């Protein structure tokens, strides 16, 4: 069975539906990514997705923002896109870390690309 580009466009556009990604979570867990991960290792905070962009065919980009108060003291090593039911769609782990002193803001953008 072959999948058409129209199908890929429909799937990526529908990732903005009501039962799909709603939040991006950030955390301090630094262990390696495993495909069976169901949650962040050390979740610090999660914020609602502020915007989603489906302007490019076959992909969708989700964006969430944090203010300095939310980040103060965080040593960020991981993040993930979460669904309404708190299912984790991905987990990104940094080799290093981002240290927040309470003066920085953060914007996380995650793009999912669909291709054959």
pLDDT 10s digits, 56-97? 888 889 999 999 999 999 999 999 998 876 778 889 998 999
Supply the DSSP string of 56-106, one letter for each residue. Answer: STTEEEEEEEE-HHHHTT-EEEEEEEEETT--B---EEEEEEEE--SS--E
What is the pLDDT, as a whole number, of residue 1? 46
Please state, in angstroms and rounded to a whole number, the distance separating the CA atoms of residues 106 and 58.
Answer: 26
Write the CA distances from 81 to 19, 46, 101, 116, integer angstroms: 13, 9, 24, 22
What is the number of structural domains in the chain?
1
Domain coverage including residue 41: 5-113
Cα dihedral sign for 73, 88, 84, 16? positive
Whole-number Å distance between alpha carbons of 26 and 42: 8
Confidence (pLDDT) at 113: 86
Query: Structure pTM?
Result: 0.84
pLDDT value of position 20: 73
Q: At 26, list the tokens.
A: 């950030």
């Amino acid at each position: 069975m072959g999948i058409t580009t129209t199908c890929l466009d429909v799937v990526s556009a529908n990732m903005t539906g009501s039962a799909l990604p709603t939040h991006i979570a950030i955390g301090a867990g630094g262990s390696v990514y495993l495909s069976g991960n169901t949650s962040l290792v050390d979740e610090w905070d999660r914020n609602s997705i502020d915007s989603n962009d489906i302007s490019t065919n076959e992909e969708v980009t989700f964006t969430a923002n944090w203010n300095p108060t939310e980040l103060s003291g965080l040593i960020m090593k991981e993040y993930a896109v979460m669904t309404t039911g708190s299912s984790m769609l991905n987990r990104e782990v940094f080799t290093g870390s981002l240290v927040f002193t309470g003066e920085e803001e953060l914007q996380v953008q995650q793009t999912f690309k669909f291709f054959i």
